[in-house]
Amino acid sequence: MLFIPDEPQINGKRPIGEYEIIPPDYSVTINGKACPVRECRVSAIPFNCIWPGHQRDKSQSERAYFITFNADEPVNVAVKCLREFKTAVVRPLSKEIQTKRENSTVQFTLTQNGNYVFELDDFHFALHIFYNPIKKYPEKENATYYFGPGVHKPLLLKLKSNESVYIDPEAIVFTTVYAENAENIRIFGGGILDNSCQERIDDTCLGDYPIGNIRMYNCRSITIEDVILKDSANWVCALFNCKDAVIDNIKIIGQWRYNTDGIDLTNSSNVKIKNSFIRSFDDSICVKAANGHTVCEDFQIENCVLWCDWGKTLEIGLETAADEYRDIHYKNCDLIHNSNGALAISNGNYAEIHNIFYENINIELQDYIREQVYQEYDAMEYKDNGKTFVPYAIKISNLKMSLSYNEVFADERDAKPGYTHDIHFKNILIFCDSGIIPSIYLHSYSPDAVLENVYIENLAVNDEKVTALSNLDITSENTRDIFLDAQKQL
């Protein structure tokens, strides 16, 4: 069975204005059936800054595209490319998808539900492919907010306990979904939640007001599933002081505005993120803490495909104003594009961080990656020096939180350095373009809080097992007991 959602329409016509579908670069068929190619805006260059009082200039962004469909059978995807190209690739590379080219058309077969990206030559103007399982929602008729096929503009949905939002696969809803002090809430359905209707006015990402695609405070028993989150004005999906949440098969795409982290879990616990795709313009998945005697614990992130256009891909921090982080598990994830660091722990405050596990993680590093640059003033331009930048495959550090956040993290405990220990990596595979040497950064600024007990088991680069960390580009300071396959390295 194959289901291809139609484009959302108003009175039988394509919507215009905020959401205009103009696919000039690709046309696609799935098992011979036409599939609508939808447009989104993404970052074109790694050039970011803390909110300067106005939004990022669109000249720093570019078009990208996505398709979404549901099937319980293998699918043949035929992509007609309307731009010149030399090479075509389907990521994640770990899936080993083979392409066949005939003139301007590239074909390939997908046998598993999942999230893929089709690219010509490099990352620009990519086509994102969301191949979803067949799923029915008999409970949709009882949703508090039901959005059928078409375009909807409620602008704000404020959920109370026991309320839900259903978004049809052929619907776009322009809004922010917000909840405070609520429980048993759900967002589901397969359609698009679009935040392009909102403009950012505040320099912090931590404010307790509705902004971004989804924002929740002091909530529990949360389910977010099968929705596409597009064009956020701030952090895309942010949970603050929340417990018992499941985020399943969501897509984060079309993020280009300043500080659009993918998923931020702040002062929260018992959260599962699975089967999802995130392309963010800032950190992709972050576990954070601010202002409180908090234990951040019991997180599971698994079976996700991640693309970070700026910052870190899987990060703990940088905000770590908590007593403790523990029992955080990352498993079976593909990090297909990375910027500063792939697997990162940035202990910016005073937390004790331990019992963190990374298992079966694939990291891709391309020779066309350029160094991310902080935009210091409006007239500053990004200059491509033509040199390959190699993001850190593993980056663990404790460092003082940025002074610009002192008013948020003012606490006498912040004089104490963060302490990170007992970090576990298992089955880490790095795919590198020719000439790239992966890098690892292990650092503590204080000899009073050394980074210790880091265990790396079965690390490989292009299927070749790494037998010594010295064979990589490694930086180490104030560390103790760093092991590779049970052999002490540092």
For the entire predicted model, the pTM comes to 0.95
Q: Are 396 and 423 in contact (CB under 8 A)?
A: yes
Q: Please give the average per-residue pLDDT across 124-137, as a whole number.
A: 96
What tokens appear for 348 in the block? 């910016």
> Is 348:418 a contact under the CB 8 Å cutoff?
yes
Rounded mean pLDDT, 308-335 = 96
- Band (pLDDT 50/70/90 cuts) for residue 415 is confident
pLDDT confidence bin for 416, thresholds 50/70/90: confident
| pLDDT band with cut points at 50, 70 and 90 for residue 438 | very high
Highest CATH level, class, for 2-132: mainly beta
Q: Does the pLDDT value for residue 464 go beyond 90?
A: yes
Q: Pick the more confident residue, 36 or 207.
A: 36
pLDDT band at residue 360 under the 50/70/90 scheme: very high
- What distance in Å separates the CA atoms of residue 112 and residue 107, rounded to the nearest whole number? 16
The residues of the chain that CATH labels 2.60.350.10 are: 2-132
User: In whole numbers, what is the pLDDT of the chain averaged over residues?
Assistant: 93
**Cβ partners under 8 Å of residue 417, min gap 6:** 347, 350, 398, 444, 445, 446, 448, 449
φ, ψ for residue 482 (rounded to 5)?
A: -105, 120
Instruction: Convert the pLDDT of each residue in 67-123 to its tens digit.
Output: 999 999 999 999 999 999 999 999 999 999 999 999 999 999 999 999 999 999 999
Measured CA to CA, the distance from residue 11 to residue 84 in angstroms comes to 36
pLDDT at 8: 82
**pLDDT score of 411 more than 80:** no
Residues 6+ apart with CB under 8 A from 456: 394, 425, 426, 428, 469, 482, 483, 484, 485
pLDDT of residue 281: 97
Q: Which amino acid is at 351?
A: A
Strand boundaries in 92-198, DSSP class E = 100-102, 105-110, 114-120, 127-132, 145-147, 150-159, 164-167, 171-180, 183-188, 192-194
> What pLDDT, on a 0 to 100 scale, did the predictor assign at position 182?
98
Chain segment 224-238, per-residue pLDDT in tens: 999 999 999 999 999
Sorted by sequence, the CB contacts under 8 Å of residue 207 that are 6+ apart come out as none
- Paired sense of beta strands 214-217 and 352-365, if any: unpaired
Q: What does the radius of gyration of the chain's CA atoms come to, in whole angstroms?
A: 22
- Preceding omega of 403 cis (within 30 degrees of 0): no
Please state the rounded mean pLDDT for residues 338-367. 97
pLDDT recorded at residue 400: 76
Please name the residue that has the structure tokens 């640059």: 373
Let me know if domain 138-488 sits in CATH 3.10.129.10.
Answer: no
Between 358 and 291, whose confidence is greater? 358
Counting runs of H as helices and runs of E as strands, what totals does the chain give? 1, 43
d(CA 15, CA 448): 59
Q: What is the pLDDT of residues 169-226, one digit of tens each?
A: 999 999 999 999 999 999 999 999 999 999 998 888 888 889 999 999 999 999 999 9
Largest distance between two CA atoms of the chain: 67
Residue appearing with tokens 């210790």:
452
Q: In this structure, how many other beta carbons lie within 10 angstroms of the beta carbon of residue 380?
A: 12
- 288, 262 Cβ separation under 8 angstroms: no
* Domain limits, CATH 2.160.20.10, in the chain: 138-488
Q: Which residues have C-beta within 8 Å of that of residue 296, sequence separation ≥ 6? A: 265, 267, 268, 269, 287, 289, 322, 324, 325, 326, 328, 351
CA angle 226, 229, 235 (to 5 degrees): 130
Q: Which of 334, 268, 332, 278 is nearest to 310 (CA)?
A: 278
Looking at residue 111, the DSSP 8-state letter turns out to be -
Q: How many CB atoms lie within 10 A of CB 450?
A: 18
| CA pair distance 449, 350, nearest whole angstrom | 10
Q: What is the DSSP letter of 134?
A: P
Q: What is the pLDDT of residue 419?
A: 96
As a whole number of angstroms, the distance between CA 179 and CA 484 comes to 45
Number of neighbouring beta carbons within 10 Å of residue 360? 17
| Angle of CA points 180, 184, 213, to nearest 5° | 50
Checking if the pLDDT of 413 tops 80, the result is no
SS3 397: strand
Split at pLDDT 50, 70, 90, the class of 61 is very high
Tens digits of residue pLDDT in 363-406? 999 999 999 999 999 999 999 999 999 999 999 999 876 544 55
